[in-house]
Amino acid sequence: MIRVLLPTHLRTLARVRGEALLELPGPVTLGSVLDAIEAAYPVLRGSIRDHVTLRRRPFVRYFACEQDLSHDPAETLLPDPVATGAEPFLIIGALAGG
Amino acid sequence: MGTKRKRSVTAKKKARATGVRLLVGTRKGAFVLTADGKRDKWDISGPHFAGWEMYHLKGSPADPNRIYASQTSGWFGQKIQRSNDGGKTWEPVGDKFVYEGTPGTHQWYDGTQHPWEFKRIWHLEPSLTDPDTVYAGAEDAALFRTTDGGKSWQELPGLRSAKGHLWQPGAGGMGLHTILLDPSNPDRIYIAISAAGVFRTDDAGKTWRPMNSGLKSPYQLPDPDAEVGHCVHRITLHPSRPGVLFMQKHWDVMRSDNAAESWSEVSGNLPTDFGFPIEVHAHEPETIYVVPIKSDSEHFPPDGKLRVYRSRSGGNEWEALTKGLPQRDCYVNVLRDSMAADSLDPCGVYFGTTGGQVYGSANGGNSWKAIVRDLPAVLSVEAQTLT
């Protein structure tokens, strides 16, 4: 079970309380988790990644186990604690204010 | 006298039998304001979609309980919400806005060509007859349409063929902000883009022509009479005379009596001819409203006085409407989509400010009252007359 923590606005949009829980059959990569969360909550398509290019939106960040994975490629394996559900995968609205 | 009184009583009864719903988009959520026909006491619901920029909400003329809303965020992109119960509950619908084919390029600030990039939906215009058909005006400027209630959106790409490579964003972005559907001709649509100008289709969106003859922009364009590039802030029409259009431009208030083939200036005695919104009275096609703003560099009312100006002659002669509006120390702006009229009798006129006030007049602008004072900055106001 993969635990995904969404930012408040996306939790509201997807009507998720607390963490989103995902079952992933294959390798737990950055891309497979993002694919799975969009499949489980289609309203999130376009809000984390671009609809067409699937590039991360500029002010969205991916954190896991105190690491910033935002710039890592989609095939990056997530840390074991995330893959086992001990730690959540965090999707964050970037600090973008003044 | 007796007849007059009788007519007045009849009008009042009619007014009581109806109501008004205002759809207010703000920088931090949407609000739905409702009142009965007297328009004295208002119920305020919201914020809906708290924290999101709600650029525009509009109800279907064919089914007023069907409302579409543009929900957008610098972080999380574009969403479209739909309500089927007059704004009580909402459901997200499709939000995939993809330019048709190879997106192409437009003029950029540095003189180079820049690829079209979707940023947000500025304006939603439901069809006059079909609740499932809606037009959406985008930044970077393009026109999209859904015919399935918002599930999917397709671009009408012919618009960007109308000299799109010459369009250039202004400071506020290159947004398609106005969509006017001609009630007498389903194939005719007018749109306006900041800062490209007015365009018209006569074949339901396949082909488009720039319609900017008569506009002059001497301090903004090297050729003041250029075919495209004029900073049109808003256009409007009265449904009974769809060939007569009114425009608030970056500078100048204009009118056209020939379906936008040519424009003439009707700024007349306005204290300043800069502003954003322009609206037409519901029952008097020659009565129009603007809110003059001091200048493009100072987006606030002249002398700190918030004044709506009304012309009963289709322009040129204007009167200041001040009763109930702050006449000192007021430095708010009124944005282009933030003024609306209902179709009750007498006509109600409404506008929202960047200071978060929504003002309403239940008597065609003669006097005003703040319906609500402390919302986030208002981006748009639409009025629905309920029967």
Which of A45, A34, A16 lies closest to B94, judged by CA?
Answer: A45
The model carries a pTM of: 0.94
Query: How close are the terminal C-alpha atoms of chain A, in Å?
Result: 37
Provide the chain A residues 60-89 that lie in CB contact (below 8 A) with chain B. 60
Q: Characterize the bridge pairing of strands B358-361 and B369-372.
A: antiparallel
Taking all residues of chain A, what is their mean pLDDT, rounded to a whole number? Answer: 95
Residue A36: phi and psi, rounded to 5, are -70, -40
Q: pLDDT by residue for chain B (387 residues), tens digit each?
A: 344 444 443 344 444 457 999 999 999 999 999 999 999 999 999 999 999 999 999 999 999 999 999 999 999 999 999 999 999 999 999 999 999 988 889 999 888 999 999 999 999 999 999 999 999 999 999 999 999 999 999 999 999 999 999 999 888 899 999 999 999 999 999 999 998 999 999 999 999 999 999 999 887 788 888 899 999 999 999 999 999 999 999 999 999 999 999 999 999 999 999 999 999 999 999 999 999 999 888 999 999 999 999 999 999 999 999 999 999 999 999 999 999 999 999 999 999 999 999 999 999 999 999 999 999 999 999 999 998
Do B51 and A48 count as a contact with CB atoms less than 8 A apart? no
Give residue A98's pLDDT: 59
Give residue B154's pLDDT: 98
Do A47 and B76 count as a contact with CB atoms less than 8 A apart? yes
Residue A37: phi and psi, rounded to 5, are -70, -35
Do A96 and B96 count as a contact with CB atoms less than 8 A apart? no
Do B75 and A8 count as a contact with CB atoms less than 8 A apart? no
Give residue B8's pLDDT: 42
Q: How far apart are CA A2 and CA A25, in angstroms?
A: 11
Residue A13: phi and psi, rounded to 5, are -60, -45
Indicate the DSSP class of residue B173.
B
Residues of A in contact with B75 (CB under 8 A): 7, 9, 57, 59-60, 93-94, 96
Give residue B13's pLDDT: 42
In this complex, the residue of A10, A46, A57 whose CB is nearest that of residue B96 is A46
Give residue A74's pLDDT: 96
In this complex, the residue of A8, A46, A94 whose CB is nearest that of residue B77 is A46
Q: Give yes or no for B75 touching A (CB within 8 A).
A: yes
Q: Give yes or no for B96 touching A (CB within 8 A).
A: yes
Segment A49-63, tens digit of pLDDT:
999 999 999 999 999
Residues of B in contact with A59 (CB under 8 A): 74-75
Are B68 and B134 spatial neighbours (Cβ–Cβ below 8 Å)? yes
* Residue B204 CB partners (closer than 8 Å, separation 6+): B186, B187, B189
Residue B22's SS3 state is strand
Calculate Rg over the CA atoms of chain A: 12
Domains in chain A, please, with CATH?
2-93 (3.10.20.30)
In this complex, the residue of A46, A52, A57 whose CB is nearest that of residue B95 is A46
Q: In Å, how far from its chain's centre is CA B219?
A: 25
**Region of residue B2 (phi > 0: left; psi between -120 and 50: alpha; otherwise: beta):** alpha
Q: Give yes or no for B8 touching A (CB within 8 A).
A: no
The 3-class SS string of chain B reads CHHHHHHHHHHHHHHHCCEEEEEEEECCEEEEEEEECCCCCCEEEEEECCCCEEEEEEECCCCCCCEEEEEEECCCEEEEEEECCCCCCCEECCCCCCCCCCCCEEECCCCCEEECCCCEEEEEEECCCCCCCEEEEEECCEEEEECCCCCCCEECHHHHHCCHHHCCCECCECEEEEEEECCCCCCCEEEEEECCEEEEECCCCCCCEECCCCCCCCCCCCCCCCCCCCCEEEEEECCCCCCCEEEEECCCEEEECCCCCCCEECCCCCCCCCEEEEEECCCCCCCEEEEECCCCCCCCCHHHCCCEEEECCCCCCCEEECCCCCCCCCCCCCCCECEEECCCCCCCEEEECCCCCEEEECCCCCCCEEEECCCCCEEEEEEEEEC
- The mean pLDDT value for A35-46 works out to 97
Give residue A97's pLDDT: 61
In single-letter form, the type of residue at position B131 comes to: P
Q: Which of A51, A60, A70 to mutate to test the interface with B (most CBs of B within 10 A)?
A: A51
Q: Give yes or no for B77 touching A (CB within 8 A).
A: yes
